[in-house]
Amino acid sequence: MDYQRPNHVETPEEQARVQRSEWQYLKIFVVVVVAIVLVAAISFGMQVNKSMGELVNERPAAAPAQTAQKPATVPASPTPATAAADAAKPAPAAATPATSAAKAPAAASPAAFAPPAADAIPEGPMGDVIRRGEQIFLHTSTQAKAFVGNTLNCVNCHLDAGRAAHSAPLWGAYTQYPAYRSKTKSVDTFSERLRGCFMYSMNGKAPPPGDEVLVALEAYAYWMAKGAPVGEKLPGASYPKVAKPAQAPDYARGQKVFNAQCALCHGDDGQGQRSGDVQVFPPLWGKQSYNWGAGMHEVDKAAGFIQANMPLGKGNTLSDQDAWDVATYINSHERPQDPRFTGNIADTRKRFHDSAFSLYGQTVNGQPLGQGTK
């Protein structure tokens, strides 16, 4: 039985009403479709605008019209982290003007998260620990001496006191942990992630869990990430990826880039420059640099950092090819052994460096790499 449909014949008026309401539905349908198309078009337009904006902001060199004005609009004083280094450095003449030119675009990027101002660290016991973290970050070799085995500081690879977008800023990192990491094959907390930096990038010893140094660094990162959404990857977080170059990365071409664009500050021998006790320009290889287990030894990561940030003050001026070539050149030099060394280079490569981006255990330019430095 069908109670919904009584047996009944439609009158002409009823038929007309049905037709009218079908016409209404059609109209509503058309209006909705038009509205959807409009919204999609507008948001697509905004996307395009935004990415164009980002492109312009991130690649000042590629936009001649902008480059012409940039120096005038940029403040002459370098950013805080560089300022600290600047104070100590007998900077080559070329270094200073360059510095101010490049930092600004990243800071001006509308998409970038804005961490609290550097001078906005609160008073009181929490503020004291945050400030201690900042000092450790800037002067790691002296402020956390017991855990550091080279002359690097955290800020050398995380520019502007860990604030600069595209150099794995702390505000982009803090909210990403705990995270599973293939490197440790476990879920690491932020503090555990920091321990890795000491073992590899700083070629030192991991501070024991809960150590004052880890607490201070974590407090500093927590403060800098104020307002950042937990678990979301923000634009400018971590190091950028550089597109695969047209030609396979090459040592000899990389050496040319290095001599022309990097040796001025990092030295012909890649050992950087010291002024008394202060490492003014950091070493890129050798005993005092990051070890074979560090993220920077991977050519893709180094290429990303270099293209976005180097030559200092002239980020985003190297072509993709140059960035890969010079990263290959730098990482084809000997550096301290991977602390996970099993006693055998081939075996260590198989376990920890089985990647096209690691030159550990490879032979480059006739040199078998992975011996370590003494």
Q: Do 160 and 79 contact (CB within 8 A), yes or no? A: yes
Q: Does 331 bind ligand HEC (CB under 6 A)?
A: no
Q: Interacting stretch for ligand HEC, rule CB under 6 A, among 55-63, 287-295, 335-343, 359-367?
A: 287-295
Q: Would you say 53 or 263 has its CB closer to ligand HEC? A: 263
Binding pattern for the stretch 290-329 against ligand HEC, x by CB under 6 A and - elsewhere: x---xxx----xx--xx---xxxx----x-------x---
Binder of ligand HEC out of 115, 149, 236, 282 (CB under 6 A): 282
* H-helix or E-strand spanning residue 171: helix 170-173
Q: Does 193 bind ligand HEC (CB under 6 A)?
A: yes
Residue type, 167: S
Q: Interacting stretch for ligand HEC, rule CB under 6 A, among 50-58, 119-127, 281-289, 341-349?
A: 281-289
- Residues forming beta bridges with residue 181, ordered by sequence position: 186
Residue pointed to by tokens 């180097």: 310
Give the CA diameter of the chain: 104
Please count the CA atoms within 13 angstroms of the CA of 196 that sit on its side-chain side. 17
Binder of ligand HEC out of 223, 281, 324, 352 (CB under 6 A): 281
Q: Do 265 and 92 contact (CB within 8 A), yes or no? A: yes
Q: Do 241 and 304 contact (CB within 8 A), yes or no? A: yes
Q: Does 198 bind ligand HEC (CB under 6 A)?
A: yes
Binding pattern for the stretch 141-160 against ligand HEC, x by CB under 6 A and - elsewhere: -----------x-xxxxxx-
Task: Kindly state the smallest distance separating residue 36's Cβ from ligand HEC, in Å.
Answer: 37
How far apart are alpha carbons 208 and 114 in whole angstroms? 32
Residue pointed to by tokens 């201070």: 216
How far apart are alpha carbons 183 and 186 in whole angstroms? 8
Binder of ligand HEC out of 58, 74, 78, 85 (CB under 6 A): 85
- Residues forming beta bridges with residue 323, ordered by sequence position: none
Residue type, 263: A
Q: Interacting stretch for ligand HEC, rule CB under 6 A, among 27-35, 58-66, 121-129, 260-268?
A: 260-268
Q: Could you write out the DSSP letters of every residue in 140-162?
A: HHHHTGGG--SS--GGGTSHHHH
Q: Does 242 bind ligand HEC (CB under 6 A)?
A: no
Residues lying near ligand HEC in the complex (CB under 6 A): 81-82, 85, 95, 98, 137, 140, 152, 154-159, 168, 172-173, 176, 193-194, 197-198, 201-202, 217, 237-239, 261-262, 264-266, 281-284, 289-290, 294-296, 301-302, 305-306, 310-313, 318, 326, 330
